[in-house]
Structure 1
Amino acid sequence: MSNVTAIPASRGQFSKTLRLVLWLLILLLVATLAFFAWQSFYPVQAAGQWSYRVIHGDVPKAAALVVMDGGGLMVSQELRDGRGSIVRIAGDGQRESVVSGLSKPDGMISARGGWVFSQEEGAAAVNFLLQGKVTELFHGSNVQGLWNEGDHLYAIEDRHANGRLFRYTWSDQSLVVLRDGLDEAESIIRCTDSRMLYTEKDKGVVRHLSEDGSDPIVFANLNQPTFLMCDQRGLWISEDSTHRARLLLIGNDGVQRTILSFLKAPQSIVASGRGTYLLAEGGRNRVLELTPPSDQAR
């Protein structure tokens, strides 16, 4: 007489179903990992006859850029917890640390023969760097974007629903809050048409700083807009998105064009002074040089 015990059909079916579910979960995990790997490593794509190249690699969390006389470059490295710094990259590629011990240095702009820089981590000071000496100008909370013109320095805070826009006056060191209650405002700039524009990243919009305080939305439905730059081609907008971010150009005709795609957390864009543009791609720790079509180079 056999001692083999038959397994009930219901148990056998359950075991098959369980194995199938496990295989499906494994396939889903592999597909998810492959998708994120594709997003991370898929190369940057340039539109039309635009082209790009990596001009500086191994620049940890590259954020703000300022082009120097003679072809050099100042770059802020947006690391947290006092590990951030500002580095000078000479025309021959040699690097020198200018300021260290910073926490998320994100905004930087030339002013009065030196540079103003902000820190986007907590209640840190907005500082002025001149001839190797750092001077505190004023304090904010998570200050990012900076703009300097004449006797005024503008600074904007990257805070959720509670950001402020400051105007600092150089002549008397006074500080005025022009706006509050902003939602992740990251950049402010004066355009060639005299409008002052700023971003609210969480809302995906660019606003016009108006005299009556209404600040109308001029561009909407953007994906985490961060740094702005205006020039003769129009308004440049970089998207601070970890995956599939874009560099956009809204031309003087109002048409939005994608110039670069598949970027990873791009930050500031500046004109190089030689007919090209420089873009900090913080998510890949590098600085790109963007070249326009040859018939538009100048």
Structure 2
Amino acid sequence: MATLWRSALLVLVALLLAALGFLAWQRFWPAQAAPGWRYAVAHADIAKASALAWQGDALLTAEELKDGKGRLLRIDAQGRRSVLSAGLYKPDGLVPYQEGFAYSQEGGTHPIRWFDATGSRDLFIGINAQGLWAEGKRLYAVEDRKGEGRLLRYDAADGSLTVLRDHLDEAESFTRCPDGSAFYTEKSRGLVRQLSDDGRDPPALSDLREPSFLLCDHRGLWISEDSTHRARLLLWDRQSAPRAILTFLRAPQALLPRGDGYLLAEGGRNRIIALEPR
């Protein structure tokens, strides 16, 4: 009997060590770049790094913290940091708009705000508003809500707000491609949908791991997966299956073009990484 107990205890210890090893592997295994790509840390110690935008040669980013602890930061070309705005509730979307910038707050019911060097003002109210996309006088926003999310369009020409889609399930991002086609995510369903004139919006991609941020450029459609462990940055050429450009990420967020490469906010590791083709 004693031998059986010892054997059972050894098995239990082995299982526990294996589980702890698996969790440690998920947490600490470094990000991996696909062949033809490389990455390096561009900026560290940015808590829950989320949004990214250029202001000339300076980088604007957001710390997506809850309970009024979120901030918008400016990092100049020499790496010096300054706080643009504090006391925010999970700032997430950030885009150039109307000769200034617009930003959203995902942590509750808050205005999408606009600011420039002279001041700021509210544009419209969103509920858990996340991704933003600007086209001329029009500003698109999506709401990260379970079954009640909306795709909104604000027009600065007349101040109107139009609900383009509703009853979305954790929509997090909207983007438009150079050919005019537009896409948005439904994170909890693992979908990227293509916006269609008839309102049906068929899935363009499915079975993804919590798809979040979208960016479309000459290379194709980029998708970051807002998963705590083993997340990916995918590139879809809209012909074949999506290709994983970065793997073993932790909660990647916004992707921003930089020269022939990109900057990626990796919120789960509190950093911004530079991704470049080899």
TM range (shorter): over 0.9
The match for 1:141 is 127
Asked whether 1:118 is paired with 2:109, we answer no
Give the TM-score taking structure 2 as reference length: 0.96
CA shift, 1:149, in A, is: 0.6
Distance in 2, Cα, partners of 1:52 & 1:93: 18
- 1:58-93 CA distance string (max 9 Å, x none): 1110001002212x1000100000000000001110
CA shift, 1:132, in A, is: 5.0
Asked whether 1:209 is paired with 2:195, we answer yes
- 1:254-284 CA distance string (max 9 Å, x none): 3421111111100010101x22110000000
Asked whether 1:40 is paired with 2:38, we answer no
The 8 Å contact of residues 211 and 225 in structure 2, kept in 1 or not, is answered as yes
Distance in 2, Cα, partners of 1:222 & 1:43: 21
Distance in 2, Cα, partners of 1:127 & 1:213: 28
The match for 1:49 is 36
The within-5 A match list for 1:55-204 is 55-70=42-57, 72-204=58-190
The match for 1:285 is 270
- 1:19-55 CA distance string (max 9 Å, x none): 4434333322222111111111111111112100000
Asked whether 1:271 is paired with 2:249, we answer no
The 8 Å contact of residues 98 and 136 in structure 2, kept in 1 or not, is answered as no
Counting matched residue pairs gives 278
Higher strand share: 2
The 8 Å contact of residues 225 and 252 in structure 2, kept in 1 or not, is answered as yes
Give the TM-score taking structure 1 as reference length: 0.90
The 8 Å contact of residues 98 and 132 in structure 1, kept in 2 or not, is answered as no
1:66 alignment partner, SS class? strand
Distance in 1, Cα, partners of 2:240 & 2:158: 39
The 8 Å contact of residues 153 and 167 in structure 1, kept in 2 or not, is answered as yes
CA shift, 1:18, in A, is: 4.1
Q: Could you tell me the percent identity over the aligned residues?
A: 50
Larger Cα-atom Rg: 1
CA shift, 1:16, in A, is: 4.6
1:222 alignment partner, SS class? coil
CA shift, 1:175, in A, is: 1.1
Distance in 1, Cα, partners of 2:237 & 2:271: 26
2:228 partner letter:
T
The match for 1:6 is none
1:154 partner letter:
Y
- 1:168-218 CA distance string (max 9 Å, x none): 111221111111110010000111110111000111111111111111111
The 8 Å contact of residues 233 and 252 in structure 1, kept in 2 or not, is answered as no
1:124 alignment partner, SS class? strand
Distance in 1, Cα, partners of 2:18 & 2:91: 36
- 1:212-270 CA distance string (max 9 Å, x none): 11111111111111000011010000010111111100115334211111111000101
1:25 alignment partner, SS class? helix
Distance in 2, Cα, partners of 1:107 & 1:33: 35
Instruction: Give me the CA root mean square deviation.
Output: 1.3
The match for 1:259 is 245
1:292 partner letter:
P
1:33 alignment partner, SS class? helix
The 8 Å contact of residues 98 and 137 in structure 2, kept in 1 or not, is answered as no
1:281 partner letter:
E
The 8 Å contact of residues 196 and 208 in structure 1, kept in 2 or not, is answered as yes
Listed as ranges, the gaps of 5+ residues in structure 1 are: 1-12, 294-298
2:153 partner letter:
R
Distance in 2, Cα, partners of 1:291 & 1:129: 31
1:166 partner letter:
L
